[in-house]
Chains A and B, each alone.
Chain A
Amino acid sequence: MKKPSKKSEIEYCKVCRLHHDHGSRHKYFPRHKYLLSTFLDRFRTKIADVRFFLKNPSVLRPQEQSQNRVWCVFCDEDIVELGSSFACSKAINHFASSDHLGNIKQFLSKNGPAMDCIDDFRITEANVAKWEKKCQSLGNEDASSFKGSCEQLSGTSNDIHNKLAFKTMDKIENVPAHHINVLPLQYNTNEYQISHSELPGVAHYGSYLNMDASHLPLRTDPPTNLPGNGFGKHSIPFRSKDYPSNQEEENKQIKGSYSSPVMTSISSSHSSDACGNVHSGAPPPWLDANDGNSSNVQLNQSDMSSFQAKIPGKTRKLNPNRVGAAWAERRKIEMEMEKRGHAMNSKVDADWLPNFGRVWQSGTRKESRKEFEKEKRKLIKTESISTESEPVEIQPYISKRARRESGENGSG
């Protein structure tokens, strides 16, 4: 006997964003599990951003304080960095707090997966202590350079990652050129190359910099040609000799870019080879290489389609155990041969009968057919017997005496 399911009160699930009366069973539903995983993944990315600033503390300028905010889904509150001097400082302190930990536990017990992922959503006090130390050391260094960088960069950016990039560039300014041989990558590669290419006809309008501070690999070798880029003629000047001059260019670039994001034009003479382009109607380069192959492929496809079209009915594989499957396959082949013009036995036997299970018959269907054919033969025999007998002529009765007398009269 099944117990009737108890109807619990209507609750709101923050993860699924719907009201339900499933009670505590709701968290085991597959839809809820799926939505929970996406929900937590989103928050993990936010925490990852904050953790970045935990490892690389940076100064937060007043004008960007209102934009540097994080919504904590466990505590249902918005963490705004008003009055904080370092990026994400309030967020870091919040994620390290005991209230936040309590809220995480409550959330996971109500909604979610096991408690082993608690550490993904909080910051330990040890890490916070390290961060504070770094902030203190930063605070001493940046007191002088902070104002200078503010004047340079007039544009606003909503991306908190940009703050780190500004920070690194400020550092680069202060460090003498001969001390460093390498530079962190500040811009996305393509834009940087485009803006620094010295090809004829390139207009330095500045580049729209999508500064992603997460990409900060330190390069030891000056790259000569980056793959997949046709502008690799001029390498990125990561050499110490060229550094001072390029630094000025970089600054100019920065100024230009943040005041107005403008695309960099590409020289048409370089891009248009002798082969032509879309406007001239030239074929795309990937087809040129596969000229022979593509035509062959097309032919094969057409062959396949014609072959498939010949076979009537559905092209998908049918159940081989369906009723009359063997007969159907044979019949299909026969029909195909007939269509192709082969003289098959197209004339059906006049006595052909389909597979039929009769009403008043027990046994297999073959027996029913045999029985029917027997009956048919009997019927034919009786009919033939009746047709074979000549029609009897009705004659009047002549007695024996009369016949004898007529016979004597005839002989006498």
Chain B
Amino acid sequence: MSSLLLKTLTKKEEIDRIIRDTIDEVLVLRFGRCTDTVCLQHDDILAKSVTDVSKFAKVALVDVDSEDVQVYVKYFDITWFPSTVFFFNAHHMKLDSGTADHTKWVGAFHIKQDFIDVVEVIYRGAMKGKMIVQCPVPPERIPKYNLLYKDV
């Protein structure tokens, strides 16, 4: 169901195009697999919220199993799925959620409102010129994970 509403990107060119064509809006890129259960839950939240944030955000899914996309998987240091990366005017937006990785959101959102709040905070921060914003989601709803440095 979510694939009907959200675009799934499988090539680097498509990702480049969507990053370059999204102007003055937040671009949400979800890196994950459509077969993974957590990814499915995450995609469900994204699909339900896409209309609510449509005026200031765009959402797209990236299939991590595609070979063409591996360069981005490495570039963005994606080790957990699903991982959500935020862009604004082709600039990466960081999100300080209290976890080890500020460059992306790892895991699924619990509720729709959390995702909308995060996108809104990113949009507001970006419009003010901030490259990193504070996450508005309360800590109990932020997924926890261990970040490994080069498999250590």
Please report A residues at the B interface, Cβ cutoff 8 Å: 312-314, 318-319, 321-325, 327-328, 331-332, 335, 348, 350, 352-360, 365, 372, 375-376
Which residues from A are CB-within-8-Å of B101? 359
Interface contact B127-A319, CB-CB below 8 Å: yes
**B141 at the binding interface (Cβ < 8 Å):** no
Interface contact A372-B75, CB-CB below 8 Å: yes
Interface contact B12-A350, CB-CB below 8 Å: yes
Interface contact A357-B92, CB-CB below 8 Å: yes
Interface contact B129-A327, CB-CB below 8 Å: no
Contact residue among B17, B20, B74, B130 (Cβ-Cβ distance under 8 Å from A323): B130
Interface hits, B10-69 → A, CB 8 Å: 12-13, 16-17, 19-21, 23-25
The segment out of B1-9, B82-90, B111-119 that lies at the interface is B82-90
Interface contact A348-B16, CB-CB below 8 Å: yes
Output the least CB separation between B144 and chain A (Å): 17
Which residues from A are CB-within-8-Å of B131? 323, 357
Please report B residues at the A interface, Cβ cutoff 8 Å: 12-13, 16-17, 19-21, 23-25, 71, 74-77, 87-94, 101, 103, 125-131, 147, 149-150
| Nearest residue, chain B, Cβ from A324 | B89
What is the CA–CA distance of A45 and B131 in the complex, to the nearest angstrom?
Answer: 59
| Nearest residue, chain A, Cβ from B88 | A323
Which residues from A are CB-within-8-Å of B21? 335
Q: A312-B23, A318-B24 are in contact. Are A354 and B127 (CB under 8 A)?
A: no
Identify which of B75, B87, B88, B93 gathers the most chain A CB atoms within 10 Å of its CB: B75
Q: A319-B129, A322-B89, A357-B103 are in contact. Are A376 and B20 (CB under 8 A)?
A: no
Q: A322-B127, A323-B129 are in contact. Are A359 and B90 (CB under 8 A)?
A: no
Interface contact B93-A359, CB-CB below 8 Å: no
Output the least CB separation between A19 and chain B (Å): 37
Which residues from A are CB-within-8-Å of B71? 376
What is the CA–CA distance of A325 and B90 in the complex, to the nearest angstrom?
Answer: 10
Contact residue among A328, A352, A360, A365 (Cβ-Cβ distance under 8 Å from B24): A328
Output the least CB separation between B125 and chain A (Å): 8
Q: A313-B24, A348-B13 are in contact. Are A354 and B77 (CB under 8 A)?
A: no
Which residues from B are CB-within-8-Å of A313? 23-25
Contact residue among A312, A332, A354 (Cβ-Cβ distance under 8 Å from B90): A354
Output the least CB separation between A383 and chain B (Å): 13
Output the least CB separation between A315 and chain B (Å): 12
Which residues from B are CB-within-8-Å of A359? 77, 101, 103, 147
Which residues from B are CB-within-8-Å of A358? 75-77, 103
What is the CA–CA distance of A356 and B91 in the complex, to the nearest angstrom?
Answer: 7
Interface contact A319-B128, CB-CB below 8 Å: yes
Which residues from B are CB-within-8-Å of A356? 75-76, 92, 103
What is the CA–CA distance of A360 and B76 in the complex, to the nearest angstrom?
Answer: 10
| Nearest residue, chain B, Cβ from A351 | B71
What is the CA–CA distance of A360 and B149 in the complex, to the nearest angstrom?
Answer: 8
Which residues from B are CB-within-8-Å of A360? 77, 149-150
23 A-B pairs with C-beta separation under 8 A: A313-B23, A313-B24, A321-B129, A323-B88, A323-B93, A323-B126, A323-B129, A323-B131, A324-B90, A328-B23, A331-B20, A331-B23, A331-B89, A348-B20, A354-B19, A354-B91, A355-B90, A355-B92, A356-B76, A358-B76, A358-B77, A359-B103, A360-B149
